[in-house]
Chains A and B, each alone.
Chain A
């Protein structure tokens, strides 16, 4: 880590109250204790001292993060506040939850620790998100109820949605209407599925059909530009791409950073450290080490061969693939290593959604030109 900011994807528990077909994590019944949380954060902050990294963002994920009770987070928050003062660092917390365990008891800690913001996820149509032994309809019904309750409590909820073949059948217009008009969601993000973790029947169908996915995304982008852009609706990655092409900079998703190894680590409740949640939970051979068994995180990261190999990915990829010829190299750098690895067995290959990304970049570039021309002429 050599920047001024560190992103920690923290999995305080690997327990989960859902059983989604495409989940890429191997679940266990383990959770992080508060004592171990304090020790873990001390080591992370020690590591941040030498390269003068001032800001830490903790992405609280799982498993399912709400399998730990609100009181656990209240105590965790006390630990973090103490460390913030003692270590003179800025620590930002972001929570990702499936909302199934949400109730009003969460509201206080959501306000105090997470600034009344929450990330969740729902698909349309929902085929794969389920409760154990249940079906997608039950999941969606509980999610919608809890989403509504949280929204009424003043919590801003951003939603990640993963398309599936039924999504392509219903089309972008209905998809957009479902999230924006029916649910009133103004901030959501489209993620692409990949066959990470234990193989399931659903994952055998991944990656999704590129042409169908591309057409869907371009249709959705079109609808968003027409109806949502300028009206306060944000859809990732469209809004970031428009910003990139219009302003020259944007906070692009992790899959498109030049090297995610420079910015992210993930730690599971056992203290295992790896690149992100999928690597740490499902691929022990790619773990960097254990933060509780080694003296320092710096040593752990420096000595990890798995990390060195992953760090070398873009350098090797640019020689093996055709990325350097691509007009959109600046936006992608070969894409996501876990998507590549889980699809091909090697992360020294391009992201399997390369063609979709290129088509989307080209389309958003043209849209940005139209929007810029509209700004000049005063046309909407």
Chain B
């Protein structure tokens, strides 16, 4: 999802494989349950227009996709991480030909999938909605794994981008990190309808999804609202307040606090390193 591509085209469209012809010339993420269908698209479509191939099922015959060339990013979307995770072994060879990310829903038992995906050197994206306290606890353990295990060498999102944003003091929020910012992303349903992302399929996002966030934020920033006084609002931007704006953010704020604290420690370490080594701080 490069900056250059974003400048060229305002939207990245996540489309079903059946609609590839209808979106010629646009920047697309092509999704399918069938590895062979994605391999066929890879063989035919201009890689310049392909942001990513998204495989929605990990149990089919992966042969065609494993043998497909071209370094197009592949996103493996897990539906049941607590039971699907062993399949990742069969998909690891994809890494020799493509950058590969595993998208893992934050549901009970998702930790095993994160640990194995990370151990196989897949990048990871966590699909998180409004986790209950038990899920927040499991997520905080995964965060500790990401932050402190020396065997982790690939990003685990959203942790990684938020951590980097805290370190670099750059404005970046979860809507963008999670590829749900309506200014950049469109999700086209199997019926051809346009929305923001899969979790918005049944939601009313208005006539122009680009303007979906503004009224939501306005409602959240009322004086008595939790967001108004939240120190992480710029990083979160109300992400955890959808679909239920009553959701209590204590747990997710603790996650963000851990990331902020770690960023602070890392900045101190980097500064100490430059001081000790006599090298100028970049």
Contacts and interface: CB of A to CB of B under 8 A. Distances in A.
A376 B277 contact: yes
A231 interface: no
A324 B115 contact: yes
Contacts of A311: 90
Given A50-B67, A315-B87, A327 B151 contact: yes
Given A2-B96, A324-B115, A318 B151 contact: no
B281 interface: no
Contacts of A50: 67
Interface stretch (B3-11, B116-124, B256-264): B116-124
A265 to B, nearest CB: 15
Name the prevailing secondary structure of the B interface residues: helix
A114 interface: no
Contacts of B69: 52
Contacts of A368: 150
B223 interface: no
Interface residues of B, number: 28
A330 B151 contact: yes
B153 interface: yes
B87 to A, nearest CB: 7
Interface in B67-110: 67, 69, 85-87, 89-90, 92-94, 96-97
Contacts of B152: 330
A248 interface: yes
A103 interface: no
B89 A259 contact: yes
Nearest to A247: B153
A350 interface: no
Interface in A292-316: 311, 314-316
A318 B273 contact: no
A325 B85 CA distance: 13
A324 B112 contact: yes
Contacts of B150: 245, 365, 368
Contact of A330 (B89, B97, B118): B118
Contacts of B92: 258-259, 262
Contacts of B151: 327-331
Interface in A237-270: 245, 248-249, 258-259, 262
A377 interface: yes
Given A4-B97, A249-B153, A376-B276, A324 B67 contact: no
A284 interface: no
Interface string B131-158: 0000000000000000001111100000
Interface in B145-198: 149-153
A51 B97 CA distance: 11
A376 B273 contact: yes
B255 interface: no
Contact of A315 (B89, B96, B115): B89
B93 A2 contact: yes
Contacts of A29: none
B96 A4 contact: yes
A2 B63 CA distance: 9
A259 B149 CA distance: 22
Contacts of A333: 119
Contacts of B66: 2, 51
Contacts of B276: 376-378
A181 to B, nearest CB: 33
A50 B152 CA distance: 33
Interface string A336-380: 000000000000000000000000000001001000000011100
A327 B149 contact: yes
Contact of B93 (A3, A52, A316, A376): A3
Nearest to B154: A248
Residue among A52, A262, A319, A330 with most chain B CB within 10 A: A330
A262 B92 CA distance: 9
B17 to A, nearest CB: 22
B145 to A, nearest CB: 9
Contacts of B85: 318, 324
A2 B67 contact: yes
B89 A319 contact: no
A315 B119 contact: no
A368 B273 CA distance: 17
Nearest to A325: B115
B273 A51 contact: no
A2 B87 CA distance: 16
26 contacts: A2-B96, A2-B97, A4-B96, A4-B97, A5-B96, A50-B67, A51-B67, A245-B150, A258-B120, A262-B93, A311-B90, A316-B86, A318-B86, A318-B116, A324-B85, A324-B112, A327-B151, A329-B115, A329-B119, A330-B121, A330-B151, A331-B151, A365-B150, A368-B150, A376-B273, A376-B276
Interface of A: 2-5, 50-52, 245, 248-249, 258-259, 262, 311, 314-316, 318-319, 324-325, 327-331, 333, 365, 368, 376-378
Give the 7 A-B CB pairs with smallest separation, nearest first. A330-B119, A2-B93, A3-B96, A330-B151, A329-B119, A248-B153, A2-B66
Interface of B: 66-67, 69, 85-87, 89-90, 92-94, 96-97, 112, 115-116, 118-121, 149-153, 273, 276-277
Given A248-B153, A258-B119, A378-B277, 6 more contacts: A259-B92, A262-B93, A318-B85, A319-B86, A330-B151, A331-B151
